[in-house]
Amino acid sequence: MAATWPAWLWSGAGLLPALVVGGAAYVGLAVSLRVREISEVIDQVRRRIGR
């Protein structure tokens, strides 16, 4: 008998791509609209990684 994933795990696996795409769209729009808070966070990240 093969092991199967529980239903909640399938739901989570289906939700993950939507969260990634939605998050990327949110950050992309915030950057293009020059939202100050997002720009500050991105600048901090760039400084920490040395770019």
**Residue pair 30/38 in contact by the 8 Å Cβ criterion:** yes
* Predicted local confidence at residue 51, as pLDDT: 65
* Predicted local confidence at residue 3, as pLDDT: 64
User: Two tokens at 35?
Assistant: 């939202």
pLDDT 10s digits, 1-51 = 456 778 888 888 889 999 999 999 999 999 999 999 999 999 999 999 986
Whether 14 is covered by a domain: the verdict is: no
Q: Which domain holds residue 48?
A: 20-51
Question: Rounded to an integer, what is the distance from CA 51 to the centroid of its chain?
Answer: 21
Q: How far apart are CA 20 and CA 43, in angstroms?
A: 21
Whether 49 is covered by a domain: the verdict is: yes
Global pTM value: 0.65
* Predicted local confidence at residue 29, as pLDDT: 96
Whether 39 is covered by a domain: the verdict is: yes
Q: How far apart are CA 20 and CA 12, in angstroms?
A: 12
Q: Greatest CA span in the chain, whole angstroms? A: 55
Question: Rounded to an integer, what is the distance from CA 19 to the centroid of its chain?
Answer: 6
